[in-house]
Structure 1
Amino acid sequence: MNFDLNDEQKMLGEQARALLADMTPFDRLRTLIDSDAQWDEPLWRKLAEMGFLGVTISEEHGGLGLGALDLGVIMEALGGANAAVPFMSSIVLAAEAIHLAGSKAQQAKWLPKLASGEAIATFAHAEGPGPVFATGTRLENGKLNGSKTPVADAEIADIAVVLVADGGLALVELQQSAVTRTRLESFDQLRPHYRIDFADAVAETMPGTGKLDRLIDQAAVQAAFEAVGAADACLMMARDYANDRQIFGRPLGGYQAIKHKLADVAVATELARSNAYFGGWAAESSVDDLPAAAAAARLSAIKCFEMAARENLQIHGGIGYTFEANCHFYYRRERMLAVHLGNRGFWAERLLNAQPGSQVQAA
């Protein structure tokens, strides 16, 4: 088993990082926050132009037809840039849900639009405090009733894939009077969340059954890649600041305590990255290994990003807590990602319940 990326995947990652470095400087993120923007639309259009939105969508439906590791290198780049785009909602979750559980007609209608960026989708699974994947929303006779909250990127989405009462999935177009979207307070100002209320909303059943676990495991791997990219960005930011900051006539990074902090973050990030790679491989090549691999990737990524975001703040000192510093972008994203798709307890339980045979670590 080769845990290194191939040349094409490395090139894909380089292209994504170059684009994001050019289009998402920190001043751009501040502009988005100050203008109360819900997303970075020019960046989204550029991602579509370069084919990144269709990386795992089949060529038949206008995508590139690549695999989970290819998607992972893009997610890692997006995490490193703290990008304000609905990539997780629209591509990782909703598009894959349509691929796994949608009818041929649903796939033919929506996957090309999602790959081109013509349409945006979101995935609605939670219903407030309680189970991570709640099923109180009901679909009967083509009408959807209930509420989902929080739902990321709901205001800019054209369609939603909704988890319903029988554990199945429904596809609903959001531009109808029977759908109400209410913005929620969000700690991460670059990833807005909403409450969606359905009152006899017209919706379609998605015929694929038993696909939710596979979908969530695959999404967990991609969330791990995003967290790894962000953790690595925090590590580099903290390292650069420590080398520039002078304390008592010498660089802050010259002190052993700071070196140890940075080394601990680097070790945790590399462990999380290797688990994400294994999860990507399992998603493509070994479905039996995927549940354990996804849970381990998710757990190690949560840990490494939390450590990296916090140590980055600590190394910067008081200035790190100001809006003028850049640390807070990653700290806010870390707090949001720590509970997205389930918290540590949820994924620890999934790891314990996974089939044996995986060699991954969740430390």
Structure 2
Amino acid sequence: MNFDFSDDAKTLSETARRMLTDHAGPDAARRIMESDALYDEALWRQVVDLGLTAARVPEAHGGVGLSPEESCILAEEFGRSLAPVPFLSTLLATEAILLGSEAQQARHLPGIADGSTIACYAWGEGANAPAAMPATRAEGGRLTGTKSPVADALAASLAVVTAAGDGGPSLWLVDLRNAGVTPAATLDLVRKHGTITLGDTPGEPLGTADDYQRFLDRAAVILAFEAIGTASAAMEMAVGYAKDRVAFGQRIGRYQGVKHKCADMYIKLELARAHALYGAWAFSADADELRHAAAAARAASLDAVRFAAEENVQLHGGIGFTWDSNCQFYYRRARQISAALGGRAFWADRLVRALEQRNRAA
């Protein structure tokens, strides 16, 4: 059992990081935040040209056909860079479509591979949990309900939507040209969110209720790596500041209280990475352990990203709370990640239930 990534995955990570270092980061995030643009179109074109949107699309549908390892690697790099593009939303939608029929894959995945289709994942209906029965209803192939907030909904043309089914929540594909999409205010000002209003809107079912639960586990692993990337960048920013900032005649990094905060960030991050690597292995192997591995990865990554983002602001002192400081991007993104697929309490409960089920089976 090998919990490390393959050499090919590491090469892809290095390639993505070089591109994102040059063209993304806090400065790019601030440009989008302070403009009316939905995302950075020039950066999106580079993402597409590099073949990143095609990474998980099978070769038969115009993609590269890479493994779940590459999804995790890319999620971490995009989380680290704060890239203002709808890549992670499209990546999650791709994983959902891969659970659908061959005809659905043939219809939707080529557009995702070539970048002409931007997709999003819409499950939220206020304060509900991902596994709760949605208020959105499907009757006769038509959906009625409201999804909000939905990351990148304003830029997307295709949405993967949850709706109530006979066996629990299930996934549906919706062409957003047939739905109402309006802006939704959220704390994250870089990834623009929207509200999707479904009023007898046509849709097509995507897999079964069991497939939805499988998708939740896979999405949790991917978003755990996004959180780890964001936490890593916040920690590096905090440590770099502690090494440079001078107070009372010496760099603040020499003070014991500051050292302890930096050490705690590192410990939480490494714990989250261990869980995430276990989840990535279970995802790639489609192992029986995926349910509890994914829940543990999600819960630990939320702990890490929240702590790193908050301590980054604190270690910067008064300047960390200002509009001009880049600390806000990591704090805002941490809050968005925490709400993207249900909060920590939901995933901690899912972890406990998965472990109980495993122990009963044993």
- Mapping for residues 162-241 of structure 1, pairs under 5 Å: 162-166=161-165, 167-176=169-178, 179-241=179-241
Aligned to 1:138: 137
Deviation at 1:357, TM superposition (A): 9.5
User: How has the CA–CA distance of structure 1 residues 206 and 4 changed in structure 2, closer, same or farther, with 3 Å as cutoff?
Assistant: closer
Residue 320 in 1 paired to residue 320 in 2? yes
Aligned to 1:121: 119
Distance 1:47 1:329 in 2: 21
Structure 1 length-normalised TM: 0.93
Aligned to 2:109: 111
User: What is the SS of the residue equivalent to 1:198?
Assistant: strand
Aligned to 1:3: 3
Structure 2 length-normalised TM: 0.93
User: What is the SS of the residue equivalent to 2:210?
Assistant: coil
Distance 1:37 1:275 in 2: 36
Distance 1:130 1:216 in 2: 15
Residue 75 in 1 paired to residue 52 in 2? no
User: What is the SS of the residue equivalent to 1:211?
Assistant: helix
- Mapping for residues 1-363 of structure 1, pairs under 5 Å: 1-92=1-92, 94-100=93-99, 102-132=100-130, 133-166=132-165, 167-176=169-178, 179-355=179-355
Q: Residue deviations 1:50-82, cap 9 Å, x none?
A: 111122221111222122222111111111111
Amino acid at match of 1:129: A
User: What is the SS of the residue equivalent to 1:54?
Assistant: coil
- Aligned-CA RMSD value: 1.8
Deviation at 1:356, TM superposition (A): 5.9
User: How has the CA–CA distance of structure 1 residues 356 and 289 changed in structure 2, closer, same or farther, with 3 Å as cutoff?
Assistant: farther
Q: Residue deviations 1:160-205, cap 9 Å, x none?
A: 12212213322111113xx211211110001222221112222223
Distance 1:91 1:128 in 2: 23
Q: CA contact under 8 A between 1:289 and 1:355: conserved in structure 2? A: no
Distance 1:83 1:12 in 2: 17
Aligned length: 355
Q: CA contact under 8 A between 2:25 and 2:83: conserved in structure 1? A: no
Q: CA contact under 8 A between 1:122 and 1:157: conserved in structure 2? A: yes
Amino acid at match of 1:180: G
User: How has the CA–CA distance of structure 1 residues 212 and 277 changed in structure 2, closer, same or farther, with 3 Å as cutoff?
Assistant: same
Distance 2:128 2:225 in 1: 27
Distance 1:149 1:134 in 2: 15
Distance 1:27 1:214 in 2: 37
Which region of structure 1 is more displaced relative to structure 2, 292-301 or 279-288? Answer: 279-288
Q: CA contact under 8 A between 2:54 and 2:64: conserved in structure 1? A: yes
User: What is the SS of the residue equivalent to 1:165?
Assistant: strand
Deviation at 1:150, TM superposition (A): 1.8
Distance 1:343 1:129 in 2: 10
Q: CA contact under 8 A between 2:120 and 2:150: conserved in structure 1? A: yes
Amino acid at match of 1:14: E
Q: CA contact under 8 A between 2:30 and 2:190: conserved in structure 1? A: no
Distance 1:134 1:344 in 2: 19
Distance 2:236 2:217 in 1: 29
User: What is the SS of the residue equivalent to 1:52?
Assistant: coil
Deviation at 1:296, TM superposition (A): 0.5
User: What is the SS of the residue equivalent to 2:174?
Assistant: strand
Q: Give structure 1 stretches of 5+ with no counterpart.
A: 359-363
Q: Residue deviations 1:89-145, cap 9 Å, x none?
A: 2112x1111110x22221101111112111011122222233434422222223222
Distance 1:77 1:319 in 2: 27
Deviation at 1:311, TM superposition (A): 1.0
Distance 2:286 2:138 in 1: 34
Q: Give structure 2 stretches of 5+ with no counterpart.
A: none
Distance 2:286 2:71 in 1: 17
Q: CA contact under 8 A between 2:39 and 2:86: conserved in structure 1? A: yes
User: What is the SS of the residue equivalent to 2:186?
Assistant: coil
Distance 1:208 1:182 in 2: 29
Deviation at 1:208, TM superposition (A): 4.3
